[in-house]
Amino acid sequence: MEIHGAAAIVFGGASGLGEATARRLAADGAEVVVADLNAERAAEIAAEIGGRSTGCDVTDPESTQAAVELASSLSTRGLQISVTCAGLGTPGRLIGRDGPTPLESFAKVITVNLLGTINALRLAAGAMRSNSPNDSGERGVCVNTASIAAYEGQIGQVAYAASKGGVVGLTLPVARELAATGIRIMTIAPGLFETPMMAGLPEAAREALGDVTPFPARLGRPTEYADLVAHIITNPMLNGEVIRLDGALRMAPR
């Protein structure tokens, strides 16, 4: 899939991995919609990259559909690229000091990370189905974001690991379902990256986290995630797979 001239949407594009992806796709010539719950920040980024923005809650079908329609209108080729980075990392043990953790604490994380991904995926792919195929028969590419927590979830990551495991699990069946329509589905499972969540930690803590990565012994850079997104889009043989982007990191229990 050629990025230049394509319409693209980045859910959760106002910060971190999503912001880096929106900037990379715009630099490569895509018409980008930055869709984020933080509509003000999304508008700022869109203005900087020459794109469009919209407030969007991936758990809300109406606002997500409106975002997809906006992106679809930006190119005669229709919406061809969708990247979902929206998510929550709220920690929580199964059983806390006062007993079992309230169910709603888990439900919110799973709703945003898993159902939000499914919602964005179904609406973006639904729009892509009406595109004319390119010379390779492709109509679109969707990239989801999981986490290495899907494989080595740590203590206190009950809902987060479960939600990201769900994103990993849906990748192959959705890719198989959409193969007949020429839509590819891929998932990236990042390790420890320089995101707003990490930015809130002291420098010493960030360095310590980076040191546990075998190589390179540092936190990943959002631009490196964006580089992989761009490669996935342009490599037609990448489909139905999850790529760990983690510098060979395997997380310890805590």
The 3 state secondary structure assigned to the chain is CCCCCCEEEEECCCCHHHHHHHHHHHHCCCEEEEEECCHHHHHHHHHHHCCEEEECCCCCHHHHHHHHHHHHCCCCCCEEEEEECCCCCCCECCEECCEECCHHHHHHHHHHHHHHHHHHHHHHHHHHCCCCCCCCCCCEEEEEECCCHHHHCCCCEHHHHHHHHHHHHHHHHHHHHHHHHCEEEEEEEECCECCHHHHCCCHHHHHHHHHCCCCCCCCECHHHHHHHHHHHHHCCCCCCCEEEECCCCCCCCC
Amino acid at 226: A
Q: Hey, which residues are catalytic here?
A: 160
Phi and psi based region of residue 198 (left: phi greater than 0; alpha: psi -120 to 50; beta: remaining): alpha
Looking up tokens 């919406």 gives 79
CB atoms within 10 A of CB 113: 28
Question: Exposed, middle or buried: residue 205 (CB in 10 Å: 0-12, 13-18, 19+)?
Answer: exposed
